[in-house]
Amino acid sequence: MSRQFRTSTSSTRNYAAGSFTAGRSSRGGSSNFSTSQRGGQGRRPTRSSGSGRSSGSNAPNPAATIFKATPFVEAETFGELDLPAAIVERLAYEGIIKPFPIQSATVADAVAGRDVLGRAETGSGKTLAFGLPMLARLARRPVTPYRPLGLVLVPTRELAMQVVDALTPIARGVGVELLLVAGGLPIGKQMNHLQRGVHIVVATPGRLTDLVDRGAARLDKVEIVVLDEADRMADMGFLPVVTAFLEDCPRDGQRLLFSATLDKDVDVLVRQHMHNPVVRSISPTTASVATMSHHVLVVSADEKADVTAHVANREGRSILFVRTKHGADRMAKALRTRGVLAASLHGDKTQSARTKVLDQFRDGTVPVLVATDVAARGIHVDDVGLVLHVDPPASSKDYLHRSGRTARAGGSGTVVMLALPQQRREVDDIIRDAGVRAEQTVISAKTDVLSGITGARVPSGIPVNEPSGPRESSRRPGRGRSPGGRNPRTPVGGAGRGRRTSGSGYRSA
């Protein structure tokens, strides 16, 4: 059994431990988080709008905490991480054999019942990192009506679905039932399911609030809480309601928190609601930096549409980012008119429309997705070869988040940002703040350099139709049911690793 010990000086693949510093840090010294730092609870926020700031935000900023990450041993097999044999076998059946670094870093401690604070990028394997210890803990436990034993809070519906999808096949093997609790899906079914009793609720804060307020979900038996993408939940104004949920759960329960940063009061959450957590950091964008190339292509306004269409017409999956929902619809339509099969994804679509589009993108039916930033948060699809920022993002953070849709799960990817001549300075700032290196190249649709960087091809010019399914309409309750027939969940990306699809059952939830 060869195990590699990762230390803070390890640089082989940069999966090293490091400091996980609160964004407002002003102090050079380090203070490992300890239970003695847990402060009193803040005023209980109203759990309705998700707006406002958490109780901690008004508190005087104590000397910022540095959560010091500790080294970890990289495991060769899941069996080394103290998981039950049934789970290891089930993973192997799914083609998942060797833990990713974030899993090596966190699973054994979480299985041992410790709180874990993990820093890792999306696409790094976080779902299994928190999911497997939950399944190990709750395997074959009896359930009680309304009272789940585990709770996973995530910022978006899509992410909630992905978590349910990823965990369901393994959960089934160990007698654990998951329930997706998210808006856009019938609440009555979710209530019935809760009444029957489930082990784990995977929820977005909004819908869970509804269910808690109706008495359909009670959190007083929750033994293990996961906060995934806590920084995104903070961005979306959810921290007050997340705090309220944590206060509803037993205080001595286990907590696993994953976040890319600790700013925006995520650090307060950690100090107040975690108990002496094990802190593990997988260097940001490590896998990506090595495998992601960044390019800024300066293009004239006249040529931008052509360049966009040619790039979109490359082989393989691509995601195009634009700033507005209408812009996404317009661009998808314009691309289809030119012969590029594209679909849009944004927050105004019905849930079933969003699910359908993501399914089609995942299974390769639609190779080009045109998305807005908010929608980007839910896109977890492997083998996206290229991200094209058609409109520059609003910030470097958005740039990194959008770009992180490619080079996932150890794959490689190209990130291209288009800039009009007058946007060069703005784009420079974004690239610099994002901490990436990108060459600026002035191009036109016809230059070889464009196809060299992106694989761009001239589209056929023969209009194509969107595959059957919900149209690009705005949200209209009751519309957009996906047609029956083929299983839309068969992924293309997973096939190489021999993984199977889950068919999570969230549709029936």
Report the nearest approach of ligand AMP to the CB of residue 88 (Å).
11
Report the nearest approach of ligand AMP to the CB of residue 159 (Å).
9
Report the nearest approach of ligand AMP to the CB of residue 120 (Å).
8
Q: Which of 21, 65, 106, 127 binds ligand AMP (CB under 6 A)?
A: 127
Nearest to 293 by CA among 452, 448, 92: 452
Residue 256 as a binder of ligand AMP (CB under 6 A): the answer is no
Q: C-alpha angle 7/9/15, rounded to 5°?
A: 60
1 three-class SS: coil
- Rule CB under 6 A: which of 459-498 touch ligand AMP? 497
Contact 230, 132 (CB under 8 A): no
Residue among 160 and 417 whose Cβ is closer to ligand AMP: 160
Residue 96 as a binder of ligand AMP (CB under 6 A): the answer is yes
Residues paired with 6 in a beta bridge:
72
Q: Which of 42, 45, 99, 393 binds ligand AMP (CB under 6 A)?
A: 99
Half-sphere CA count of 5, side-chain side, radius 13 A: 2
Report the nearest approach of ligand AMP to the CB of residue 163 (Å).
8
Residue 124 as a binder of ligand AMP (CB under 6 A): the answer is yes
Stretch that binds ligand AMP, among 31-39, 94-102, 293-301, 415-423 (CB under 6 A): 94-102
Residue 492 to residues 342, 382, 486, Cα–Cα distance (Å): 17, 8, 14
Q: Which of 6, 90, 114, 126 binds ligand AMP (CB under 6 A)?
A: 126
Report the nearest approach of ligand AMP to the CB of residue 284 (Å).
14
Residue 321 as a binder of ligand AMP (CB under 6 A): the answer is no
Distance CA 49, CA 55 (A): 15
Classify residue 348 by its DSSP letter.
T
Residue 363 as a binder of ligand AMP (CB under 6 A): the answer is no
Residue among 228 and 466 whose Cβ is closer to ligand AMP: 228
Stretch that binds ligand AMP, among 3-11, 121-129, 222-230, 472-480 (CB under 6 A): 121-129
Residue among 78 and 399 whose Cβ is closer to ligand AMP: 78
- Torsion on CA atoms 76, 82, 87, 92, rounded to nearest 10: 10
Q: CB neighbours of 251 closer than 8 A, spacing ≥ 6?
A: none
Stretch that binds ligand AMP, among 37-45, 55-63, 125-133, 275-283 (CB under 6 A): 125-133
Cβ burial of 412 (10 Å; 0-12, 13-18, 19+) is middle
Distance CA 238, CA 251 (A): 20
Give the H/E segment covering residue 289: helix 286-291
Distance CA 124, CA 101 (A): 8
Report the nearest approach of ligand AMP to the CB of residue 166 (Å).
6
- Rule CB under 6 A: which of 385-414 touch ligand AMP? 408-409
Q: Indicate left, alpha or beta for 502 from its phi (over 0: left) and psi (-120 to 50: alpha).
A: alpha
Name the closest residue to ligand AMP (Cβ): 127
Q: Which of 45, 50, 101, 125 binds ligand AMP (CB under 6 A)?
A: 125
Residue 100 as a binder of ligand AMP (CB under 6 A): the answer is yes
- Torsion on CA atoms 454, 455, 459, 464, rounded to nearest 10: -90
Annotate each residue in 369-388 with x if it binds ligand AMP (CB under 6 A) or - if it does not, as one string: -----------x-x------
Residue among 99 and 118 whose Cβ is closer to ligand AMP: 99
Strands 72-74, 4-6: pairing is antiparallel
Residue 432 as a binder of ligand AMP (CB under 6 A): the answer is no
Residue 123 as a binder of ligand AMP (CB under 6 A): the answer is yes
Residue among 76 and 247 whose Cβ is closer to ligand AMP: 76
Residue among 55 and 124 whose Cβ is closer to ligand AMP: 124
Q: Locate all alpha helices (DSSP H) within 179-256, ordered by sequence.
A: 187-196, 205-213, 230-235, 239-248
- Token representation of residue 429: 């700032």
Annotate each residue in 140-169 with x if it binds ligand AMP (CB under 6 A) or - if it does not, as one string: --------------------------x---
Stretch that binds ligand AMP, among 92-100, 182-190, 296-304, 327-335 (CB under 6 A): 92-100
Report the nearest approach of ligand AMP to the CB of residue 170 (Å).
11
How many residues are recorded in the chain?
509
Residue 317 as a binder of ligand AMP (CB under 6 A): the answer is no
One-letter-per-residue 3-state SS of 147-178: ECCEEEECCCHHHHHHHHHHHHHHHHHCCCCE
Nearest to 30 by CA among 17, 12, 11, 43: 17
Contacts to ligand AMP by CB under 6 A = 96, 98-100, 103, 122-128, 166, 380, 382, 408-409, 497
